């Protein structure tokens, strides 16, 4: 028998949802590149010091992501968006796999690895080239250095996106938290906002997180296995 889903629904995803697509998580095994931790490369200081090194890392990640396809968990969230009247997908991922799976209403808290932003004129462009012909790349308009259009440690999140995510978390009746270690702020606060406003919290993660103790339901397993199964029992 199917249990109805209370609406509106908010979903927060992290690197774990893309793990089964082959994209390494940040805090798990296999995420390291040349022995650098992401915190050493994903910063404005690292980019000022050595833009070529930071771009080599992004070029490597872009190549890796380009070879990955959305998995059953991304596809399930796209199906949920199509089937439910009010679902907001909030992601910390920059890989674009939610959109590739068919989700439309996606709030990207940390930007997108397939966009560049000019450090001179501010121009934002999509760039799907793998691998980049020039490292570090330069703006075709003004010649200044381009940077990935992502949020680095120590930087603010795009305000409009954060506001929309906050609003979705505050008004949802169900919050699904999928594949995030729930330790990076401000994203990690969104489930707490939902809880404070009386939402039901469902966590999807093979490992325990700081949120687990407060979750009403926990799907302990890889998202591509447990999320489709959970949705099949509930889809309207
Ligand atoms: P993390 O790498 O911190 O956490 C990944 C989470 O996914 C962990 O809790 C794993 O247990 C879980 N996980 C692993 N495999 C999974 C699977 N198959 N299915 C479901 N869950 C699985 O990634 P995030 O929480 O996304 O920020 O990290 C948050 C932010 O920290 C990132 O957006 C990035 C990073 O530094 C910036 O770059 C600004």
User: Are 163 and 143 in a shared domain?
Assistant: no
Residue 235's pLDDT band, with cuts at 50, 70 and 90, is: confident
Ligand 1: centre distance to CA 133 (Å): 30
Write the pLDDT tens digit of every residue in 174-188.
999 999 999 999 999
User: Are 95 and 13 in a shared domain?
Assistant: yes
Tell whether 173 is covered by a domain.
yes
Bridge pairing between strands 217-219 and 200-204: parallel
User: Are 63 and 77 in a shared domain?
Assistant: no
For the annotated catalytic residues, the residue numbers are 110
Write the pLDDT tens digit of every residue in 33-61.
777 888 889 999 999 999 999 999 999 99
Tell whether 205 is covered by a domain.
yes
Which of the listed residues 150, 170, 201 is the one where a domain comes to its end?
A: 150
* Triad 67, 56, 71: Cα angle to 5°: 25
Ligand 1: centre distance to CA 143 (Å): 35
Other CB atoms within 10 A of residue 230 CB: 19
User: Are 35 and 16 in a shared domain?
Assistant: no
Tell whether 1 is covered by a domain.
no
Write the pLDDT tens digit of every residue in 85-133.
999 999 999 999 999 999 999 999 999 999 999 999 999 999 999 999 9
- Can you give the CATH number for the domain in which 54 is found? 3.30.1600.10
Which residues have C-beta atoms less than 6 Å from ligand 1?
A: 14-17, 19-20, 25-28, 38, 42, 92, 110, 151, 179-181, 184, 204-207, 209, 222-223
Residue 7's pLDDT band, with cuts at 50, 70 and 90, is: confident
Ligand 1: centre distance to CA 74 (Å): 15
Write the pLDDT tens digit of every residue in 137-155.
999 999 999 999 999 999 9
User: Are 57 and 169 in a shared domain?
Assistant: no
User: Are 228 and 176 in a shared domain?
Assistant: yes
Residue 1's pLDDT band, with cuts at 50, 70 and 90, is: very low
- Indicate which residue's Cα is closest to atom 8 of ligand 1: 181
CA distances 174 to 2, 51, 159, 197, Å, are 16, 42, 24, 10
Domain membership of residue 35 as a residue range: 29-67+117-150
Tell whether 4 is covered by a domain.
no
Percent of all residues in the chain with a pLDDT value above 90, rounded to a whole number: 89
User: Are 126 and 13 in a shared domain?
Assistant: no
Q: Taking 70 as the threshold, does the pLDDT of residue 79 lie above it?
A: yes
- Indicate which residue's Cα is closest to atom 18 of ligand 1: 222
Pocket test for ligand 1, best of 179, 209, 211, 219 (most atoms within 8 A of CB): 179
Tell whether 38 is covered by a domain.
yes
Domain total of the chain:
2
User: Are 61 and 164 in a shared domain?
Assistant: no
């Amino acid at each position: 028998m199917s249990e109805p889903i209370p609406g509106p629904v908010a979903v927060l995803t992290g690197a774990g949802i893309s793990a089964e697509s082959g994209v390494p998580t940040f805090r798990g095994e296999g995420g390291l590149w040349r022995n650098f931790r992401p915190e050493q490369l994903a910063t404005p200081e690292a980019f000022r010091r050595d833009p070529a090194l930071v771009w080599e890392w992004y070029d490597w990640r872009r190549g890796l992501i380009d070879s990955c396809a959305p998995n059953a968990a991304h596809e399930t969230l796209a199906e949920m968006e199509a089937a439910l009247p009010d679902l907001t997908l909030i992601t910390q991922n920059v890989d674009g796999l939610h959109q590739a799976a068919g989700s439309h209403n996606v709030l990207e808290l940390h930007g997108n690895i397939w966009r560049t932003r000019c450090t001179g004129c501010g121009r934002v462009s999509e760039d799907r080239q793998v691998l980049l012909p020039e490292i570090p790349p330069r703006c075709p308009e003004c010649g200044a250095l381009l940077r990935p259009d992502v949020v680095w440690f120590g930087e603010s999140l795009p305000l409009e996106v954060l506001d929309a995510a906050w609003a979705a978390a505050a008004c949802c009746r169900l919050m699904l938290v999928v594949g995030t270690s729930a330790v990076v702020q401000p994203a990690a606060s969104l489930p707490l906002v939902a809880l404070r406003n009386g939402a039901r919290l469902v966590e999807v993660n093979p490992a325990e997180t700081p949120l687990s103790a407060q979750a009403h339901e926990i799907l302990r397993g890889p998202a591509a296995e447990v999320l489709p199964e959970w949705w099949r029992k509930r889809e309207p």
